Chains A and B, each alone.
Chain A
Amino acid sequence: MNRPPHQISRMSLHRFANPTRFLRIADAVSPWATGLAVLLLAVGLYLGLAVAPPDYQQGQTVRIMFVHVPAAWMAMACYSLMALASAIALIWKHPLADLSAKAAAPLGAGFTAIALVSGALWGQPMWGTWWVWDARLTSFLVLFFLYLGYIALWQAIDDPTRAARAAAILALVGFVNIPIIKFSVDWWNTLHQPASIVRMNGPAIDVSILVPLLVMMAAFNVYFVALLLWRIKAEIIARRVRTLALARVEPEAGA
């Protein structure tokens, strides 16, 4: 990192311009997102645990779906978002892109863990097994390790610029796993059943179960947005702290 000083100041100006606007928007949106997330979660839990009927085959275990499906959905959506942000970071060097991907990763890892654990807890009573190595379950476990690898890469490399580039490349390479997860149940025989919502003939779920599921999916979505705003803001401030700290050290050591 031997950039001439004039280039550093130009870079940091460029870096400050957009994040400042982002912080303004985030501060305005954040309370609403948090409030809406709490509201939707409360309504979704009420519908899922109290209003939704048991399934004609699976009985009360169908309620596990209301955390399993939204978590699995968000795990994949979050990774797709990280891949998109990583591409933007690599190509256009947008100052917020790699920060957003970094901020999203722990959330995606959390959603993946929820989907895996609730899936095991659903599989044992219904399928008769906690886990099988079928294409869907295996590719989803790979997603979990991709998240862990991504987070570890950021921690392992000290120089933020180089860490960002390495992590972005990993995020992009790992993105091939997303269509594999999605279509695994169509391409190969799996123990996991095919998609219930995004389906040729429309959802295969009765309205009384579909509505609680959709509310929970919306709730997980808004929860993700609310937390992502906090996390990106924290990353922006942390970067500003680093820049300020560097700026204080440099005049002493240099000019």
Chain B
Amino acid sequence: MDQLSTYLAMGGYAAFVWPSYAFAALVMAGLALASRRALRHSARQLAALEAGDRGDRRARRAAPQDPSS
């Protein structure tokens, strides 16, 4: 336990070391999630366009899965 708190204290620089890593993790995880979401969003749009009949928007929204994918 003592060892852990010594480690976490980072020689008195904990207030600088850990926020650096936390900010990097936050930004990188955020970018990864946003990129995944953008990909899923446009894939769903394409599937809806390819599957749905023109003018029948309600049916398209009810069945967003593209049967061909």
Do chains A and B make direct contact within the complex (CB under 8 angstroms)?
yes
**Chain A interface (Cβ < 8 Å from any Cβ of B):** 49, 54, 59-61, 63-64, 67-68, 71, 106-107, 110, 113-114, 117-118, 121-122, 124-125, 223, 227, 230-231, 233-235, 237-238, 240-241, 244-245, 248
Once A63-B17, A114-B23 are accepted as A-B contacts, the answer to whether A231 and B39 lie under 8 Å apart by CB is yes
Number of interface residues of B (CB under 8 A): 29
B20 on interface, CB distance cutoff 8 Å:
yes
Chain A residue numbers with a CB within 8 Å of B17 are 60-61, 63-64, 121
Determine the distance from Cα of A217 to Cα of B28 in the docked complex, in whole angstroms. 14
> By the criterion CB–CB under 8 Å, are A64 and B28 in contact?
no
Nearest 7 pairs of A and B residues by beta carbon: A60-B11, A118-B20, A234-B39, A237-B42, A60-B10, A67-B24, A238-B42
Chain B residue numbers with a CB within 8 Å of A68 are 20
Q: Is the interface of B mostly helix, strand, loop or mixed?
A: helix
Determine the distance from Cα of A121 to Cα of B16 in the docked complex, in whole angstroms. 5
Once A71-B24, A117-B20 are accepted as A-B contacts, the answer to whether A231 and B38 lie under 8 Å apart by CB is yes
B61 on interface, CB distance cutoff 8 Å:
no
> By the criterion CB–CB under 8 Å, are A121 and B35 in contact?
no
> By the criterion CB–CB under 8 Å, are B11 and A54 in contact?
yes
In this complex, the member of B24, B28, B54 whose beta carbon has the largest number of chain A beta carbons within 10 angstroms is B24
Other A-B pairs beyond A71-B24, A223-B32, 12, CB < 8 Å: A60-B13, A63-B10, A110-B31, A113-B23, A117-B20, A117-B23, A118-B24, A121-B23, A125-B16, A230-B39, A244-B46, A245-B49
Q: How far is the CB of A5 from chain B (nearest CB, A)?
A: 19
> By the criterion CB–CB under 8 Å, are A124 and B16 in contact?
yes
- What are 21 A-to-B residue pairs whose CB atoms are below 8 Å? A49-B21, A59-B12, A59-B13, A63-B17, A68-B20, A71-B24, A110-B30, A118-B23, A121-B20, A121-B23, A125-B13, A230-B35, A230-B38, A230-B39, A231-B35, A231-B38, A234-B43, A235-B42, A240-B46, A244-B46, A248-B54
Chain A residue numbers with a CB within 8 Å of B41 are 234
Chain A residue numbers with a CB within 8 Å of B59 are none
Q: Is the interface of A mostly helix, strand, loop or mixed?
A: helix
Once A61-B13, A114-B27, A124-B16 are accepted as A-B contacts, the answer to whether A234 and B50 lie under 8 Å apart by CB is no
Determine the distance from Cα of A244 to Cα of B10 in the docked complex, in whole angstroms. 56
> By the criterion CB–CB under 8 Å, are B16 and A237 in contact?
no
In this complex, the member of B28, B30, B54 whose beta carbon has the largest number of chain A beta carbons within 10 angstroms is B28
B34 on interface, CB distance cutoff 8 Å:
yes
Determine the distance from Cα of A125 to Cα of B38 in the docked complex, in whole angstroms. 39
Determine the distance from Cα of A70 to Cα of B12 in the docked complex, in whole angstroms. 24
Determine the distance from Cα of A135 to Cα of B51 in the docked complex, in whole angstroms. 55
